[in-house]
A and B are shown apart, each in its own frame.
Chain A
Amino acid sequence: MLALLLILIPLVTGVAAFFIKNEKVVKSWALLSAVVALGISLATLYYTDTTHLTFTKEWLPDLGSSFSVGLDGMGKMLTLLTAIAFPIIFISTKHSTYKDANQFYGLMLLSQAGLMGVFLSTDLLLFYFFWELALVPAYFLCSKWGGEKRISVTFKFFIYTFLGSLIMLIGILYLYILNPEKSFALQSIYKMTLNNRAQDILFWMFFLAFAIKMPIFPFHTWQPDTYEQSPTATTMVLSGIMVKMGLFAVVRWLLPVFPHAARGFDNIIIGLSVTGMIYASCIAIVQDDLKRLVAYSSIAHIGLMSAALFAGKANGVQGVMVQMFNHGINIIGLWIVIELTERQFGTRKMSELGGLAQKAPALAILLVIVALANVALPLTNGFVGEFLMFTGLYQFNVWYTVVAGLSIILAAIYTLNMIQKVFYGNTNALTEQAVDIRLNEKLVLSVLVILIFAMGVYPKPIIELTQASVNSLVSVFK
């Protein structure tokens, strides 16, 4: 029942938000909804019984599809991430103004509902439904409230992801036809034994959709543009949570269903991921726009996650689980800092900023901490995940690890460049009048920083939460 609430609350409040014309009221309404969802998500951590965590209702009985949702360890973690992210986004954008705020917040809540649905559904058709539900609000959010080039960019984003989704839909139908039970239910699909040829074809049909969503090289070109042009609140959703949909879907719907194909193509995919890591890290070095820099850094991180996932070693997969959560936290932190900078100075170009550490020390300190977590400094949350992922990758193949390891160095280069150009040095005409951040922004960032250190020093809870998911996935590879 709790699982259902996680979807229903943002869905209902999101629809309701469209009818609240007052901007202040709708902001509080959205925040209230997000906080309630967070409360429920926290509550799910205490339950282990199926009555609280699953919900099934007939939906399309003739097709063998039902409205069934459920939470396992990984699902709990990702719904918790979603539930944490939205209040943080709403609080940090409290001072940003949006035209037609009711629509903006309504769409944000709807996309939350879609995301929750993706992480919760245990029926393939339902999963597809939510997969699209999460995409459509994001499209409208970008195309209405985005930057100058938003129309062409969001069009590209939509076509890109929709192409993947449609191919996946064909794959879903093919899988359904092959299923002797004629059912979309997760358990029924897990029981299927597919021949190798069918696995190979279906694997790519599904993987393409997930690869575009993550995104991994070379399917990534929608991402920097979209991140750059979207309103930052939407970018946070896209990069913090929506990219996790791709990884999550690989764990839930791809690897256990097509184990043979996954083993057969592991070198191709890990090769692509590792190439993408170095490639994206190099590109990040020459970016001047903060948003694009973070976008490319995110591609590099996702590359490591997908490489470790397909390597299929217990440590690596465990690292992916940890990192999925932590990457969400870190990157949202980075976006908040960028949003605050842009709101104050009207630019995201590093070459136009400088010397902010003198004027806004609190912002500088918080950014440095978040950025260091992003480069996986020990005792921050980024380290635990990356360490485990590299360990897993190393057990798969040494040379991939060595090449991927270079990204550690490259990450240090572009991160320190960013810190230096934005915060150090002397102030210029633009940053001369800078003021430090507000209390609510400090508070949000402090919460993130506390999470960063808590997860970095004592990652045991999150490891234990996801251990069962890791075990079942790793057994597939054996």
Chain B
Amino acid sequence: MPINYYIFLALALFCIGVAGVLTRRNAIIIFMCIELMLNAVNLLLVAFSKMHHLDVMQTNPATTVGTDAQLFVFFIMVVAAAEVSVGLAIIVMMYRNTHSIDINFLNRLKH
């Protein structure tokens, strides 16, 4: 399959994520959109990795060449998981304090 399809899919996912972050006010949804953007990047990483090392992999299925990018994806997923846990904890705390998860309540950064 040509690489273009992957790129377009990832781009679409990323843009949906950006649009969601920019337009939505619900913290949970924003979180989900961030995940969407991360996953778009993950998808691209895997796709490019496969594309670059296609020849090597076909001749020698046992090779470890070209797994770097896929390792990156795991890293990102781990970090994202950690981030989600911290982020959700923050949201919980926020809900406890404000009884809302609307981020416009959190415009205190100004002062």
Let me know if chains A and B touch directly in the complex, using CB atoms closer than 8 Å.
no
Which of A's residues lie within 8 Å of B, judged by CB?
none
Which of B's residues lie within 8 Å of A, judged by CB?
none
